[in-house]
Structure 1
Amino acid sequence: MPRYEDSEKGDEKKKMKEPFLWKEDKKEHKEEEDGALFTVLLSTAVAVCGSFAFGTCIGYSAPTQDAIMMDLQLSYAQYSVFGSILNIGAILGAITCGNIADFLGRKGAMRISAFVCILGWIAIYMAVESVMLDFGRFLSGYGIGVFSYVVPVYIGEITPTSLRGGLASANQLLIVIGLGSSYILGAFISWRMLALTGIIPCMFVFLGLFFVPESPRWLLMAGRSEDFLVALQHLRGPDTDITREAENIKDYLESLKGLPKVTFIKMFDKANIHPLTISVGLMAFQQLVGINGIVFYANYIFKSAGFDPSKGTIIYAILQIVITAVGASIVDKAGRRPLLLTSAAGLLMGNLLIASSFFLKAREISPDIVPYIAVIGVLVYIGSFSVGMGAGPWLIMSEVFPLHIKGMGGSLVTITNWSGSWLVSYTFNFLMLWSSYGTFLLYASVCALAIVFIYNMVPETKGKTLEEIHASMNSS
């Protein structure tokens, strides 16, 4: 077997023998990146408006609770239905999102999602009783269930390898920006007006999709070869030679033609189980580390520390946005695995700090510093979640699934996400009644398991084309 040093010297000799060809390759690569940038960024910007809509929908119920209950004379039980029915709609959206995205295309799925969300917001705005309110929330949930799958998939399929990680991470960044905007706007405008503002990002998606190309990979999978070339050329720039990339995609899809139709049972075949395990496992850990519990309990922790809850919420929202932006900016340089491992370790530390604060409080030990330990724990937790576990599972999911199983696999992953979200939300209060510090120790143990899972199961996908990633999945 040749040594690494020998192969490296061989590469150098090759460059010396063909200096002009080597320089020309570098020049063409630079032109490809420059030509691709505008259309890829525009397409991503339109798609992540769906992520912003996702965030505004998630954040809507927190600042509006008192006003809606007062105006519509709702009980706590009725408002709980309003809050939780979002997850039911999202799970239904998750069940259908893969088939919709495969049948109508990535743009078609986003357009349907935007339209359903608009109907949901209008129903909430016009509601005069709980039935209409719940129906609107259900529709919004369905829409964001589809968005949560199709936005990262679309971005992953249109972006060049060197930009894929950062642009796909913009999905999570816009979710937290949308979440923060609902919190902030909800403090100044009525709940009906806040519902109308939720229509704005959906309109940007619906109209913006007319000006951006469809996923070239989906077009080729659908048998639209000419449209595939037009879309790929549009995304890579008019002067870029797309021959090599187009041939690689065609060769890969040709290799998939002989494979049988993927069903739910087929997802568990030896050929598909590796990407499925990685994607479902990461998405389960994303929720089971306790993110919803931390979010729901943050205001109480800020109060116990003597912080103004509204100021605490703003600090929390700003921290999420800043750290998510940092993660998105470095993911293509640092890699997916290091960020996920760092994130999981930080989540473990945050949970241990919060658990320690409740343990000390229950035993009346060092009461003066207990609230500050809790606040530091929350901030460490939120910062750690934002840098990796927030965006990472969606990014990895969009990369590791081959095209022929992406619809079915994506649906299973999205169902896992929303089911986990519901499970943590539903059980959190019961766990807190059982043991406040025990709850966060339980979440900490899940974080420890997540570290083991990521270290042993999750591959590094930085710098690889989607076709290279899928080939490595099959060979491992």
Structure 2
Amino acid sequence: MEKKVRILVIVFLRKKKVLNKMNFSPFVKQMFVATAPQLAAVSMGGSLGYPCVLIQQFQSNETSIKTDLSTLTWIASMHGVAGIGATLMPTLMQWKGRKYTFIGSTLLLIIGWLLAFVAQSTLTVLLSAILHGLSSNCITIVNLMAVSEMLAPRYRSASMVLLNINQTIGQFMVAALGSIFNWQIVALIMCGPATVALLIAFLWPESPSWLACKEKFEDSEKAFVWLRGNDIDANRELKAMLAAKKGSRIKFSKKTKLQEIWSEMKRRDFYLPSLFMFLLLLNFYISGALPLFIYSKDILQMATRTSEIAVFGYLATVSTLFTGSLISLILIRYFKTKTVLSSCVGSILSLFSCSLVSYLQSIGVVRPDSYLFLYAYLAYMVFCNSGFNPITFALPIDLMPVKHRGMGGALFNILTCLLYVITVKPFLYIVESISLAGTLLLFGVFCLFCTILIWIYVPETKNRTLQEIEDYYNYGSFDRFRHSDDVEVKTPIVKNGVVD
């Protein structure tokens, strides 16, 4: 057995060397690297929808595992609870890099699926759910950072939106497979995309930006040229990146760790993108996107008084996830990021429409079983998923400079967890207190306020290099063209991975 494993490792390493020598174009190499996060997103998306399959099959008594309601609710909620552990992932990424943290996170996801496949007790199922929750939240952060740092600016935005699409595809796959196969067979099938992603990641280079931050400049040059080639634009971007990193070395040898963290937090290029991150995430969560999706059947039942329409509305809502993501991919190709994000204006108008219809129903102007609320609600879901949802989670990572993505990524995870709980947990109590119309009106007003602030203050990142985005915080404008001569560093131009 050991001999077979040794042979497989030798064959794999030889293939890696052959791949490095093959003369593929930079576009092909970038798409090859991006394939791993996209496949991981499919498997990770499947883990988000997997509890629904488990609950459905456990409740139908079609399995030897017997559970009670308390256990089922733990299975359903474990994804969010275990995700808190992912707060440490950005720090780990800054320490070990993007490649190996992606490999580790994907391996955890695969183990989670395999545990579900062999599970014979609720304890094993819960352990599987814990690994799914932890690995999925880790993969979300690693995917966004890897794509952001390894792809050229013209491919970056579309690829980050595509992560959202593939996550949705994973949810659809699990739902479809769960209606045909046993939950254990579904788990085995969903191992496939993650396994392929894991193998591809072994052939990755490390992130050039991360290597430069670690002052491994020669390795950074080689990785950058392998990914991006050596044309004029690529060399200009490489020289600017390395010059900036060499010119901004900061020594903290006489400071404690807390003093280092405090010094980092006071930097303009950390606290500004952190404020932008908070504003973007608050805008999405305060719009009610998650509670309106999670409780969609209850809301539509409340608004239409018809269970059949509530079921139809729920299915239509799920379909908008995939359709909206495809629309986002088209929009981001032709419009600026903030322009696509402004689709939330349609969401705001739809929220106001839903609120108005619900109020008119409460005073008897509109019939209780009218379909008007359903139409406005579906319009909200279409606008929400057509740019608003995908861009909200991609843009904050784009805005955070590479050198601060340890603390920035941790902050991202903390904010998403807190805002998730704050908006989802009390939703039904708020509806009971101020009515559905009042709740939707409140969501619309808060979202409108946040949208105005975003449009005024958050910078546009499309087709901007990571170094240009970082310079924006330090110089206050994209107009300043940064030459490598701005600092006393001579950066060589590299060709075909060899330094001249």
TM class by shorter-chain length?
0.7 to 0.9
Question: Which runs of structure 2 are paired with 1:268-307 in the superposition (5 Å)?
Answer: 268-271=265-268, 272-300=270-298, 304=304, 307=308
Question: CA contact under 8 A between 2:351 and 2:380: conserved in structure 1?
Answer: yes
1:309 to partner: Cα distance: 6.4
SS at match of 1:391: helix
1:108 to partner: Cα distance: 1.1
Q: Cα RMSD between the aligned structures? A: 2.6
SS at match of 2:464: coil
Question: CA contact under 8 A between 1:290 and 1:443: conserved in structure 2?
Answer: yes
Is 1:447 the counterpart of 2:437? The answer is: no
Residue in structure 1 matching 2:85, options 67, 80, 92: 92
Following the alignment from structure 1 to structure 2, what is the Cα–Cα distance between the partners of residues 188 and 356? 42
Partner of 2:21: none
Relative to structure 1, is the Cα distance of residues 353 and 139 closer, same or farther in structure 2, using a 3 angstrom cutoff?
A: same
Following the alignment from structure 2 to structure 1, what is the Cα–Cα distance between the partners of residues 185 and 27? 36
1:78 to partner: Cα distance: 2.1
Equivalent AA in structure 2 for residue 276 of structure 1: S
Following the alignment from structure 2 to structure 1, what is the Cα–Cα distance between the partners of residues 260 and 78? 28
Question: Which runs of structure 2 are paired with 1:4-83 in the superposition (5 Å)?
Answer: 35-69=25-59, 70=61, 71=63, 72-83=65-76
Unaligned runs of 5+ in 1: 1-33
Following the alignment from structure 2 to structure 1, what is the Cα–Cα distance between the partners of residues 264 and 372? 45
With structure 2 as the length reference, what TM-score do the two structures score? 0.81
Report Cα offsets for 1:56-103 as digits up to 9, x if no partner: 11122234323224443323232111111211111211x111112112
Following the alignment from structure 1 to structure 2, what is the Cα–Cα distance between the partners of residues 361 and 187? 37
1:332 to partner: Cα distance: 4.7
Equivalent AA in structure 1 for residue 428 of structure 2: N
SS at match of 1:366: coil
Report Cα offsets for 1:396-440 as digits up to 9, x if no partner: 222221222111111101221122223333222323333233332
Residue in structure 1 matching 2:185, options 175, 188, 193: 193
Partner of 2:438: 438
Following the alignment from structure 1 to structure 2, what is the Cα–Cα distance between the partners of residues 131 and 325? 38
Of 382-391 and 275-284, deviating more is 382-391
Question: CA contact under 8 A between 1:332 and 1:462: conserved in structure 2?
Answer: no
Following the alignment from structure 2 to structure 1, what is the Cα–Cα distance between the partners of residues 260 and 177? 44
Following the alignment from structure 1 to structure 2, what is the Cα–Cα distance between the partners of residues 340 and 259? 39
Question: CA contact under 8 A between 2:357 and 2:366: conserved in structure 1?
Answer: no
SS at match of 1:211: coil
Relative to structure 1, is the Cα distance of residues 309 and 369 closer, same or farther in structure 2, using a 3 angstrom cutoff?
A: closer
Report Cα offsets for 1:334-381 as digits up to 9, x if no partner: 111112222x212212322333343344444422763x2232233222
Relative to structure 1, is the Cα distance of residues 316 and 204 closer, same or farther in structure 2, using a 3 angstrom cutoff?
A: farther
Equivalent AA in structure 2 for residue 322 of structure 1: T
1:250 to partner: Cα distance: 0.4
Is 1:408 the counterpart of 2:407? The answer is: yes
Following the alignment from structure 2 to structure 1, what is the Cα–Cα distance between the partners of residues 149 and 49? 29
Following the alignment from structure 2 to structure 1, what is the Cα–Cα distance between the partners of residues 264 and 437? 39
Partner of 1:222: 214
Relative to structure 1, is the Cα distance of residues 212 and 279 closer, same or farther in structure 2, using a 3 angstrom cutoff?
A: same
1:206 to partner: Cα distance: 1.0
Residue in structure 2 matching 1:236, options 204, 207, 228: 228
Relative to structure 1, is the Cα distance of residues 123 and 374 closer, same or farther in structure 2, using a 3 angstrom cutoff?
A: farther
Question: CA contact under 8 A between 2:313 and 2:378: conserved in structure 1?
Answer: no
Question: CA contact under 8 A between 1:301 and 1:374: conserved in structure 2?
Answer: no
Partner of 1:254: 246
Is 1:173 the counterpart of 2:172? The answer is: no
1:113 to partner: Cα distance: 0.9
Partner of 1:391: 390
Question: CA contact under 8 A between 2:210 and 2:403: conserved in structure 1?
Answer: no
Equivalent AA in structure 1 for residue 117 of structure 2: Y
Unaligned runs of 5+ in 2: 1-23, 477-500
Question: CA contact under 8 A between 2:324 and 2:387: conserved in structure 1?
Answer: no
Relative to structure 1, is the Cα distance of residues 238 and 405 closer, same or farther in structure 2, using a 3 angstrom cutoff?
A: closer
Question: CA contact under 8 A between 1:298 and 1:378: conserved in structure 2?
Answer: no
What is the count of residue pairs matched by the alignment? Answer: 440
Equivalent AA in structure 1 for residue 349 of structure 2: M
Relative to structure 1, is the Cα distance of residues 367 and 191 closer, same or farther in structure 2, using a 3 angstrom cutoff?
A: farther
1:209 to partner: Cα distance: 0.6
Is 1:164 the counterpart of 2:164? The answer is: no
Equivalent AA in structure 2 for residue 326 of structure 1: I
Partner of 2:459: 459
1:140 to partner: Cα distance: 0.7
Following the alignment from structure 1 to structure 2, what is the Cα–Cα distance between the partners of residues 456 and 177? 34
Partner of 1:127: 119
1:237 to partner: Cα distance: 3.8
Question: CA contact under 8 A between 2:26 and 2:228: conserved in structure 1?
Answer: yes
Partner of 1:26: none
Question: CA contact under 8 A between 1:164 and 1:332: conserved in structure 2?
Answer: no
1:383 to partner: Cα distance: 1.7
Question: CA contact under 8 A between 1:294 and 1:378: conserved in structure 2?
Answer: no
1:155 to partner: Cα distance: 0.6
Question: CA contact under 8 A between 1:301 and 1:375: conserved in structure 2?
Answer: no
1:446 to partner: Cα distance: 2.5
Equivalent AA in structure 1 for residue 66 of structure 2: Q
1:230 to partner: Cα distance: 2.5
